[in-house]
């Protein structure tokens, strides 16, 4: 591996000579890092409240803004899920709940959680905060564009939520928005609702593109001295690759949303075949609804990995820091992220097995889908092997990491079921599918977010979160989430269809009644438990234990800023110089169990440090 890096090989040779030389003074050369290619970044420093906290160009503030707005939207999604579970567990308990409302809540819950919560939080929130800090940049490369990105997101959320208040309410066509039903009368929100949804998505994509370009160019072109690609924390790799996916997948969403808007507003027939309604032929004709499904899932499947890849990256770093061990197989982890990202563009039609397709077509997509299991499994093995014989600190962050690994394996295995055409067809549109994707891309990434919040809150706020509350939060969420989604697999096997408002007196699912009540009760408790975190954050901001510098004894650059929390420009007068990867934990011979990335080789010549 290190043959590629002639520079580091020389360093290795020199340092091993010094070791055999027996305590000779290290040659100054081994600390050499070539000079900066670019002049220092020219930043706009805000002075007023508005330029410092509202229309702010500092990536860290933008990250926090993204985080707060995404969380706010996510809480709306959570409340919608409560209302749905109330109806499913105890039909009729919520008096106002009609079938139309139920479908609208399903749709908005899905869209909010996938796009406006998880995507915005991982890429907009963690991406903005962590990329410049972890790569040693002063800020994103185009802070102004970055600021506009957040405000576009803000408008997109506004338009989305406005659809609750228009005549007919928000769209109720399911988060996949399949035409023709999404825009035909009879579907709730087929008037203004669907139009606002499409407009909101278009705004989101436009805003995201501005942010995404920033993330990519910052990673590619603005790293600090010594920060090679293979010295970047996996968090940066995950967010970077996810952003690449987003830049290539969101175009399909943009195009499908635009065409759907035209079908609705101008009565074009892109997706609309000839339709008979109450014996009357509608104006539409000659379009193809399957085209929408292809466009949507060409976006929709990479979207799963847009959420998952940052989670993979972040969890790798958290596990490494809190088990005081280098991440097992770093290069393999990087390549796995890249390969998963690439493969995710060749699997989209596995969402369309029941739409009808040529058997060879299904065979192709089943094969590509199952191939993704290989790099994914590699990652899981590497996480477990990182933990193996590590000096594990069983704190809240580590609990979330462990919770993530089991949840992700669980959801991944049901994915192998659903990737096979013959197994998928009978399980399609049952609660088995609901259980699968909530486990693998709902709960699992959420656990990473929670872990990441407990891990990086001390950096953002300068104070620690309460461990006691954190453990309560974790155990209720973890056990509760399993109580919700584990029984759902069973519901799927006995054939309970998803998206049904009520099951009435279906004799074959009488056993599902009690189970639904149990699931709903668990859902209320888990949802409520999330407010422990919000309470914890608010209280800890005031009375939390001061974190000081680098409370976790981590290596990566974000903990090495001159001030905590870092100020605008991140690094004070001098940019950091990187000499190693961020995973030098528990190195034999080192004084402490961590060697920060900025430690020059001459300070650690007696240690058996990895060559990176």
Partner 1 sequence: MSSDPKIKGYEFKPGYSGMAADTASDQTMFKGVHWGKAMMWIFLLSDTFIFSCFLISYMKGRGSTPVEWPNPSEVFALNAFGVPVPLLLIAIMTFVLITSSGTMALAVKYGYERNRKMCGWLILATAIGGLTFVGMQAFEWSKLIHEGVRPWENPFGAKQFGSFFFMITGFHGTHVSIGVIFLFIYAYKTFAGHYDKEKRGWFTSMKGNYVEIEILGLYWHFVDLVWVFIFAFFYLW
Please tell me the distance from the alpha carbon of residue 188 to that of residue 103, in angstroms, as a whole number: 7
Please tell me the distance from the alpha carbon of residue 94 to that of residue 73, in angstroms, as a whole number: 22
- For residues 523 and 484, the answer to whether their CB atoms sit within 8 Å is yes
Q: Does 36 bind partner 1 (CB under 8 A)?
A: yes
Minimum CB separation from partner 1 for residue 77, in Å? 27
Please tell me the distance from the alpha carbon of residue 453 to that of residue 591, in angstroms, as a whole number: 29
Minimum CB separation from partner 1 for residue 353, in Å? 19
Question: Whose Cβ is closer to partner 1: residue 4's or residue 505's?
Answer: 4
Nearest one of 85, 213, 60, 8 to 516, comparing CA atoms:
85
Collapsing DSSP to helix, strand or coil, 463 comes out as strand
- For residues 408 and 444, the answer to whether their CB atoms sit within 8 Å is yes
Minimum CB separation from partner 1 for residue 528, in Å? 41
Find the binder of partner 1 among 61, 123, 130, 141 (CB under 8 A): 141
Please tell me the distance from the alpha carbon of residue 275 to that of residue 284, in angstroms, as a whole number: 7
Which phi and psi angles does 115 have, rounded to 5°? -90, -55
Minimum CB separation from partner 1 for residue 266, in Å? 5
Minimum CB separation from partner 1 for residue 33, in Å? 8
| Binding pattern for the stretch 254-293 against partner 1, x by CB under 8 A and - elsewhere | xxx-xx--x---xxxxx------------x-xxxx--x--
- For residues 80 and 148, the answer to whether their CB atoms sit within 8 Å is no
* Site residues (CB under 8 A) for partner 1, limited to 563-592: 578
Residue 312, CA atoms < 13 Å, CB-side half-sphere: 32
Please tell me the distance from the alpha carbon of residue 345 to that of residue 349, in angstroms, as a whole number: 10
Please tell me the distance from the alpha carbon of residue 481 to that of residue 412, in angstroms, as a whole number: 16
Nearest one of 121, 134, 144, 105 to 64, comparing CA atoms:
121
Q: Does 35 bind partner 1 (CB under 8 A)?
A: yes
Minimum CB separation from partner 1 for residue 38, in Å? 7
Find the binder of partner 1 among 250, 328, 353, 594 (CB under 8 A): 250
Q: Does 325 bind partner 1 (CB under 8 A)?
A: no
- For residues 418 and 493, the answer to whether their CB atoms sit within 8 Å is no
Q: Does 222 bind partner 1 (CB under 8 A)?
A: yes
Find the binder of partner 1 among 107, 128, 190, 224 (CB under 8 A): 224
Count of residues near partner 1 by CB under 8 A: 60
* Site residues (CB under 8 A) for partner 1, limited to 195-214: 209, 212-214
Residue entry with tokens 């390549």: 335
Please tell me the distance from the alpha carbon of residue 55 to that of residue 61, in angstroms, as a whole number: 10
Q: Which stretch binds partner 1 (CB under 8 A): 98-106, 218-226, 396-404, 429-437?
A: 218-226
Minimum CB separation from partner 1 for residue 243, in Å? 10
Strands 280-281 and 276-277: antiparallel
Minimum CB separation from partner 1 for residue 288, in Å? 4
Find the binder of partner 1 among 248, 339, 342, 479 (CB under 8 A): 248
Sequence-distant (6+) residues with CB within 8 A of 110 are 174, 175
Residue entry with tokens 């992220």: 337
Question: Whose Cβ is closer to partner 1: residue 213's or residue 453's?
Answer: 213
Find the binder of partner 1 among 53, 72, 90, 144 (CB under 8 A): 144
Q: Does 33 bind partner 1 (CB under 8 A)?
A: yes
Question: Whose Cβ is closer to partner 1: residue 36's or residue 394's?
Answer: 36
Minimum CB separation from partner 1 for residue 505, in Å? 42
Find the binder of partner 1 among 25, 38, 280, 574 (CB under 8 A): 38
Minimum CB separation from partner 1 for residue 50, in Å? 15
Nearest one of 351, 177, 340, 158 to 263, comparing CA atoms:
177
Q: Does 5 bind partner 1 (CB under 8 A)?
A: yes
**Helix or strand run (H / E) with residue 250:** helix 234-265
Which residues are at the interface with partner 1 (CB under 8 A)?
Answer: 3-6, 33-38, 42, 44, 141-142, 144-145, 209, 212-214, 216-217, 220-231, 247-248, 250-252, 254-256, 258-259, 262, 266-270, 283, 285-288, 291, 294-295, 298, 578
């Amino acid at each position: 591996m290190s043959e590629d890096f002639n520079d580091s090989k020389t360093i290795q040779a020199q340092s091993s000579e010094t070791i055999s030389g027996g305590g000779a003074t290290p040659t100054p050369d081994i600390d050499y890092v070539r000079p900066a290619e670019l002049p220092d970044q020219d930043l706009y420093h805000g002075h007023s409240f508005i330029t410092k906290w509202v229309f702010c160009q500092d990536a860290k503030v933008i990250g926090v803004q993204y985080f707060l707005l995404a969380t706010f939207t996510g809480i709306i999604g959570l409340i919608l899920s409560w209302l749905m579970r109330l109806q499913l567990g105890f039909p009729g308990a919520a008096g106002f709940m009609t079938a139309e409302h139920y479908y609208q809540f399903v749709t908005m819950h899905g869209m909010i959680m996938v796009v406006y919560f998880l995507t915005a939080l991982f890429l907009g929130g963690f991406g903005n905060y962590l990329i410049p800090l972890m790569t040693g940049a002063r800020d994103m490369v185009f802070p102004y564009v970055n600021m506009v990105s957040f405000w576009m997101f803000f408008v997109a959320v506004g338009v989305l939520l406005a659809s609750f208040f228009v005549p007919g309410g928000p769209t109720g066509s399911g988060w996949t928005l399949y035409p023709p039903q999404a825009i035909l009368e009879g579907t709730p929100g087929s008037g203004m609702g669907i139009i606002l949804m499409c407009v909101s998505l278009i705004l989101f994509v436009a805003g995201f593109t501005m942010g995404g370009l920033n993330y990519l160019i910052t990673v590619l072109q603005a790293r600090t001295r010594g920060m090679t690609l293979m010295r970047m924390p996996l968090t940066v790799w995950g967010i970077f690759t996810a952003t690449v996916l987003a830049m290539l997948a969101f175009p399909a969403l943009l195009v499908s949303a635009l065409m759907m808007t035209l079908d609705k507003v101008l009565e074009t027939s892109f997706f609309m075949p000839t339709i008979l309604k109450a014996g009357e032929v509608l104006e539409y004709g000659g379009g193809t609804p399957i085209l929408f499904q292809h466009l949507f899932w060409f976006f929709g499947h990479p979207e799963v990995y847009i959420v998952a890849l940052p989670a993979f990256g972040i969890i790798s770093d958290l596990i490494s820091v809190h088990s005081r061990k280098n991440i097992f197989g770093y290069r393999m982890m990087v390549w796995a992220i890249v390969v998963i990202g690439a493969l995710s563009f060749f699997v989209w039609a596995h969402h369309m097995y029941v739409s009808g397709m040529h058997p060879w077509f299904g065979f192709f997509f089943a094969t590509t889908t199952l191939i993704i299991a290989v790099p994914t499994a590699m990652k899981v093995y590497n996480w477990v092997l990182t933990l193996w014989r590590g000096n594990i600190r069983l704190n809240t962050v580590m609990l979330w990491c462990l919770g993530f690994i089991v949840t992700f394996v669980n959801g991944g295995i049901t994915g192998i079921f659903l990737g096979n055409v013959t197994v998928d067809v009978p399980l399609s549109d049952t609660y088995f599918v609901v259980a699968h994707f909530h486990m693998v891309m709902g709960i699992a990434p959420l656990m990473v977010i929670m872990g990441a919040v407990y891990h990086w809150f001390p950096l953002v706020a300068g104070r620690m979160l309460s461990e006691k509350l954190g453990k309560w939060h974790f155990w209720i969420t973890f056990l509760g989430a399993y109580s919700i989604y584990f029984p759902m697999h069973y519901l799927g096997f006995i054939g309970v269809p998803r998206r049904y408002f009520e099951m009435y007196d279906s004799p074959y699912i009488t056993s599902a009644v009690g189970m639904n009540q149990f699931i709903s009760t668990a859902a209320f408790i888990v949802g409520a438990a999330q407010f422990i975190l919000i309470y914890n954050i608010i209280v800890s901001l005031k009375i939390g234990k001061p974190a000081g510098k680098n409370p976790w004894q981590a290596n990566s650059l974000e903990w090495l800023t001159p001030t905590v929390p870092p100020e605008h420009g991140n690094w004070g007068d001098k940019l950091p110089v990187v000499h190693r990867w961020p995973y030098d934990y528990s190195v034999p011979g080192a004084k402490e169990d961590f060697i920060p990335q900025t430690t020059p080789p001459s300070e650690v010549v007696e240690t058996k440090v990895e060559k990176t």
